[in-house]
Amino acid sequence: MTDIVSQGARFGAAGLFRLPLRVHPEDDEPILSLLVRLSEENRFTKVCSFTRLIRLPTAGIHMVAERPVHLAALAAASGLTENRLQYMQYQRVSSTHVAWLGRPIHRSLVHSKHRRWCPACLEEVPYHRAAWDLLPIGVCHRHKLALACLCPACGNEVGWPGKMVACRCGGDLRRSPHRPVSESAAGAVRDLLEWLWVDAERGAEVMVLATTLGWLSNQGRCEPPYKRTLRQSLDRRAQDLEIGWAALQDWPDGFNEYLNRHFPPDRAQWPFVRWLGRRYQGPLKGEMSAAVTARSLAAGRSEHRAKEFCGPLHADHPQ
């Protein structure tokens, strides 16, 4: 580690460490990305050298993303408020949900241990986007590229080794191959992220439904639950989302047509078909009907399309 004390780092009145160089967090940046950027900016060779100083876990820093940790020392070091830092965490808000950019979302949808990234986004502005931590998302809708999840040099999964654009082996993540996706796959992700932003609970539900429908249609058989889908490859996931999202257009006609096509009457008693029917043809039908229509999406867009985004449409985080 460089001698950062001689660079102007100091310990404040409460004995809390303060970094000489500050970093401005992006609106849709999760806390692990901030830790890495602070560490890099201040010339630490490893993130754990920095987290040790501020009393955060030194082993497995991905735990900082989701576990309750004391943020006072990080707040003092970074010059950010604890509220702002908490917003960047995926902390549990109930037994089933975590907060994703302040929005409650089922915890099975969020994964931050291993990184996924769009090489073009990293090239433009090198920080990690919170949308990349959502498991059903396999596409950058801005660049219409599939997300990468393996280092282009060593072929391994990439954790949080201490460099925003590099793997532990030194491989440059911005050099990951560009794998274009269809217009409709990118559109599905853009629409679903917008929905998630406006109404997290329902948006997440529809995201899961779309992924599940796409997966089922590809499988040609009936096997719940959607969690299996989430472990599949990113390419496959992007395709699933695209197909499932298409099935949800023109609600409920498109959905009924999807059911008829993939689940003819002789399969009506399959457990998953019954589950799907109960869940989405029953009590949710009215709400889905209102929510899935192009009208409500269009209304949401005109109201919230403040700026192009990967995660949030506009900043609503605490200062």
Q: Would you tell me which residues interact with Zn ion (CB under 5 A)?
A: 118, 120-121, 140, 142-143, 151, 153-154, 167, 169, 171
Nearer to Zn ion, 174 or 262 (CB): 174
Nearer to Zn ion, 31 or 186 (CB): 186
Report the alpha-carbon distance of residue 22 to residue 35 in Å, rounded.
11
| 3-state SS, residue 139 | strand
Nearer to Zn ion, 54 or 234 (CB): 234
CB of 160 to Zn ion, least distance (A): 13
Closest C-alpha to 138, from 100, 111, 99: 111
CB of 44 to Zn ion, least distance (A): 20
CB of 114 to Zn ion, least distance (A): 12
| 3-state SS, residue 274 | helix
Closest C-alpha to 242, from 181, 308, 312, 293: 181
CB of 207 to Zn ion, least distance (A): 19
Nearer to Zn ion, 197 or 251 (CB): 197
Q: Within the chain, where are the H helices?
A: 31-41, 47-53, 63-66, 72-78, 82-88, 119-124, 183-198, 200-219, 226-230, 234-247, 253-262, 271-281, 285-292, 294-304
CB 11 within 8 A of CB 18: yes
Nearer to Zn ion, 113 or 202 (CB): 113
Q: Cα-Cα-Cα-Cα dihedral of 54, 56, 57, 63, to 10°?
A: -140
Nearer to Zn ion, 186 or 210 (CB): 186
CB of 262 to Zn ion, least distance (A): 32
Report the alpha-carbon distance of residue 96 to residue 84 in Å, rounded.
23
CB of 45 to Zn ion, least distance (A): 17
